[in-house]
Amino acid sequence: MQIETRLFADDGETPNNPTLPLVLMRGSGVVAKDDPAGWFEERFASHGWTSAWRWGVYAYHHFHTTNHEVLGVVIGQARLMLGGEHGEEFIVRPGDVIVIPAGVGHKCLEASGNFMVVGAYPRGEHPDLMKSSSSASDRERIASVPLPDADPVHGAGGPLFDYWRT
């Protein structure tokens, strides 16, 4: 598995996260499974990332101030803008897992017609949906979101915690 990380600066509209980087895990092995969406749902849930859903990624910049999010790419491919308007573009493909810390912007720029992800949240939390914010209270809320109990793919000892520390 290959891991990429990015820490994005606050651009005044998208706060991003001041301490936790976005973590992109490539090569989860799910492409070899008969039911990749089910595999992601089961794997995420077994590590405490629940409230799973299947869909795509919104075609506008958005972020969450109340929780972290994981996206597992099931099928198709997409070009995502991560980190807000001044972030960075990433091509994601089946098997990629994107762990998005609270505050980090994400948007789909372009996707194949069959593109689908499984998304989930630590402890089954339900996210807010923010399009922009210059609010100090939103930034405080982002900073206070607790770390998850486990890496969504690999569990308590997973590589997420090589990059996310208190």
**pLDDT tier, 33 (very low <50, low <70, confident <90, very high otherwise):** confident
Identity at 154, one-letter amino acid code: H
So what's the pLDDT on residue 28?
A: 80
So what's the pLDDT on residue 100?
A: 98
Asked whether residue 166 carries a pLDDT value surpassing 70, the answer given is no
- Reduced to 3 states (helix: H, G, I; strand: E, B; else coil), residue 87 is coil
- How confident is the model over 49-54, as a mean pLDDT? 96
Other CB atoms closer than 10 Å to residue 113's CB: what's the count?
Answer: 5
Rounded CA gap, 99 and 30, in Å? 16
So what's the pLDDT on residue 48?
A: 98
So what's the pLDDT on residue 30?
A: 77
- Structure token digits, residue 4: 């990429």
CA–CA–CA angle 53, 56, 61 (5° rounding): 110
DSSP code for 152: T
So what's the pLDDT on residue 90?
A: 98
Q: Give per-residue pLDDT as tens, 9-25.
A: 999 999 999 999 999 99
- Structure token digits, residue 85: 């308007």
Contacts of 25 (CB under 8 A, 6+ apart): 1, 2, 3, 96, 97, 98, 99, 153, 159
pTM listed for this prediction: 0.96
Asked whether residue 31 carries a pLDDT value surpassing 90, the answer given is no
The torsion angles phi and psi of 137, rounded to 5 degrees, stand at -70, -35
Q: Give per-residue pLDDT as tens, 86-140.
A: 999 999 999 999 999 999 999 999 999 999 999 999 999 999 999 999 999 999 9
Q: Domains for the chain: give ranges and CATH numbers.
A: 2-156 (2.60.120.10)
